[in-house]
């Protein structure tokens, strides 16, 4: 059940340089190993991520660039507190091959044939837009404000599709024991010797993924040979991620049989133009909003600014007009263009 938090100052927007202290505090509290790599490495790394996002939002972008990154934050504008974050890579792995395992039915046997599930290394998602991190403060889960971090960026996709690839893909967090992925611990570790999962994450963050892939089997892996505990988590998500998976599936972002090669977590995908909230979002103006929304009292609404001034909030009507608080949160005036999700 979606709840309503008692605040009108919560906004979903691009991260700014002024957010550094609040973002560092948020990342220190709520981001765990394997959860949002670039946000775990101290203030210096955070500043680099913010700089990359600010630079991307500030440019006049005509097509997705390998290095383009968009970081949105859910912020209480009154206190400056960061309540959540969402990072999007316009191009997966900066245009370099991006690998997953694809689960395929394979026929085996000589005189007696049978079908077994088999893992094949695949780079099908190299040309896709990929969310890199999605973290929300726990007490904002299942609130209408928390919904901003789940679909607020879709209003940005709706208005500025040229900035992204046609397909969006991403990993839903898999099953862990402590700070280590179960699939890694009970299967991939055999190929990688003493390399810890934490060290693996560091290698990935440094762009040295090829060192890992050189140690892993490149040929087909029959699933029956994978140890039971590792096999049991293939395609599985942890309890905290089940809600996010359901929401993505309702949006039209679903699995096509791909899993992350390091965690066996499901990979999901969808065409941006086919996402439910992208298709349902309506472009209008603040003056025409009452006719658009009619009896709706609360709704998700954004302005139509492609740069650092982009804002999303929970909109409200007041006497058949958009409320003053909504105008303030969106940083717009009466008559300006907006995008609304009924």
Q: Name the more confident of 291 and 282.
A: 282
pLDDT for res 240: 80
Tell me: the pLDDT tens digits for 306-334? 999 999 999 887 777 788 888 999 999 88
pLDDT for res 43: 83
List Cβ neighbours of 111 (8 Å cut-off, separation of 6 or more).
none
Tokens for 264? 């066996």
Tokens for 200? 């693996």
CA distance 313 to 10: 7
Tell me: the pLDDT tens digits for 223-258? 999 999 999 999 999 888 888 888 889 999 999 999
Tell me: the pLDDT tens digits for 79-124? 899 999 999 999 987 778 889 999 999 888 777 888 999 999 999 9
E strands, the chain, where? 10-14, 69-76, 81-89, 100-108, 114-122, 130-136, 167-171, 176-177, 180-181, 221-222, 254-259, 266-271, 282-285, 298-303, 312-318, 321-322, 337-341
Taking residues 123-136, report their average pLDDT: 86
In this prediction, residue 1 has a pLDDT band, given cuts at 50, 70 and 90, of very low
> Mean pLDDT for the chain?
87
Taking residues 296-305, report their average pLDDT: 87
pTM: predicted TM-score of the whole model, two decimal places: 0.86
pLDDT for res 55: 97
In this prediction, residue 182 has a pLDDT band, given cuts at 50, 70 and 90, of very high
CA distance 262 to 174: 10
């Amino acid at each position: 059940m979606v709840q309503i938090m008692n605040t009108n100052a919560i906004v979903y927007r691009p991260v700014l340089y002024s957010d550094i202290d609040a973002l560092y505090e948020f990342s220190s509290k709520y981001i765990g190993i394997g959860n949002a790599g670039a946000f775990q490495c101290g203030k210096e790394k955070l500043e680099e991520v913010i700089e990359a996002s600010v630079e991307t939002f500030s440019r006049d972008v005509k097509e997705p660039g390998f290095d383009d990154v968009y970081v949105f934050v859910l912020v209480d504008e009154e206190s400056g507190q960061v309540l959540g974050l969402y990072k999007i890579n316009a191009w997966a792995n900066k245009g370099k091959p991006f690998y997953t395992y694809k689960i395929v039915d394979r026929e085996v046997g000589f005189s007696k044939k049978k079908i077994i599930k088999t893992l094949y290394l695949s780079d099908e998602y190299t040309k896709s837009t990929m969310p890199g991190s999605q973290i929300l403060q726990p007490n904002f889960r299942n609130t209408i404000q928390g919904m901003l971090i789940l679909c607020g960026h879709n209003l940005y996709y709706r208005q500025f599709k040229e900035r992204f690839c046609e397909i969006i893909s991403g990993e839903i967090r898999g099953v862990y024991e402590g700070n280590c992925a179960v699939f890694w611990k009970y299967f991939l570790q055999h190929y990688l010797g003493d390399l810890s999962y934490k060290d693996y994450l560091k290698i990935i963050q440094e762009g040295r993924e090829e060192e890992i892939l050189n140690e892993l089997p490149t040929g087909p892996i029959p699933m029956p040979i994978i140890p039971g505990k590792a096999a049991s988590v293939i395609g599985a998500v942890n309890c905290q991620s089940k809600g996010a998976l359901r929401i993505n599936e309702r949006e039209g972002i679903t699995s096509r049989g791909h899993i992350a090669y390091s965690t066996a977590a499901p990979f999901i995908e969808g065409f941006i133009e086919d996402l439910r909230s992208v298709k349902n979002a309506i472009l209008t103006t603040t003056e025409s909003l009452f006719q658009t929304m009619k009896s709706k009292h609360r709704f998700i609404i954004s302005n139509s600014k492609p740069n650092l001034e982009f804002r999303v909030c929970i909109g409200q009507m007041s006497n058949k007009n958009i409320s003053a608080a909504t105008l303030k949160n969106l940083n717009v005036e009466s008559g300006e263009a907006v995008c609304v999700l009924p």
